[in-house]
Amino acid sequence: MSGAPLTGEQLKAAIQGPSDVEWRRVYEMRRECQEILPNLFLGPFVASKSLETLQSLSISHIVCIRDAKEAFSVRPRFESHFKYLVLDVQDNDEQNLIRLFPEAKAFIDAAISQGGRVLVHCNGGISLSPAFVVMFVMQYHQLSWEDALHFVQNRRYCISPNGGFLTQIKEYEAIYRANLAVASYPSSQRAVSRRKREDDDDDDIRYLDEDRKRALVANDSEGLIDPYAMET
C-alpha cells in the first residue's frame, strides 16, 4: 500500500484520536466516505451512488458488501467506470466474515498495488463494511483488535460493528498473528522440521516392520501360523 508508513508516535496518535469531537460533524459524516488508510476509503452506499464524488476522490475500485436481501437496491451503479467486488452476506450476528475477508483483502491489495483507490461500503457504513476494514487495518499496521477498531473509529466516528462481527474481529487478531509467526519462521528451519518429521515417520514404520518380523519368528518357533502369509 502506498504512502509513507506511520511512525510509532503517529500511529499512537491515530489510535487515540482527537480529544474533542464536533457531534454535528459526526452526524454529517454518516453520509460521506472517509479515507482510513492511504487510498482506502470507507463509507455508506449513498456515497457510492455519486459518480461526481467517486471521481473527485479518484476511486478506481469498489467493494460492495450487502445483505442478500438488499441486492435490488445496494448494487454497482457505474460498472463502466469502476471495478467492483460484490460480497453477498447476511447482516446478522451469525454471518461468518472471516471466511469472506481474504477475498476482500486480495481485491484491495491488488487494486492499491496497481495505483488504484478503493471504496469499501455496505448499506449504512456502520457495522458490516467497517468490520472488514477494521480487520484490514489490524493486519496492515499489526495492531490489536481494539487499537484497530479505535483507529477506524477515529476516522469514521459512527461505526459500530454488531456483537457477532466484533467477536470475529477479536478472533481475527489471533489468526493474523499466527500467520505472521509462521511466515517469519525461517524457511530453512521449516524444511529441517519437515525432514525430521518425515525421518521420524520412516523410523516408526521401520520399527513396526521389525517388531512384526520378530513376532513372526516367535510364532513359527511355537508352531503357529503366520496370519500374513499367502495361501498356496
CATH of the domain at 154: 3.90.190.10
pLDDT score at 185: 78
Rounded to two decimals, the pTM is 0.73
Instruction: Classify residue 228: in a domain, yes or no.
Output: no
Higher local confidence (pLDDT), 184 or 41? 41
The pLDDT tens digits for 74-120 are 999 999 999 999 999 987 888 899 999 999 999 999 999 999 999 99
The answer to whether residues 148 and 134 touch, using CB atoms and an 8 Å cutoff, is yes
Residue 18's Cβ-side half-sphere holds a number of Cα atoms within 13 Å equal to: 9
Give the single-character DSSP code of 70.
Answer: G
Number of domains, the chain: 1
β-strand 61-67 against 118-121: which pairing, if any? Answer: parallel
The answer to which of 14-18, 35-39, 52-56, 170-174 has the lowest mean pLDDT is 14-18
Instruction: Classify residue 232: in a domain, yes or no.
Output: no
Instruction: Classify residue 196: in a domain, yes or no.
Output: no
Per cent of the chain over pLDDT 90 is: 58
- Active-site positions read 122
Q: Is the pLDDT of residue 124 over 90?
A: yes
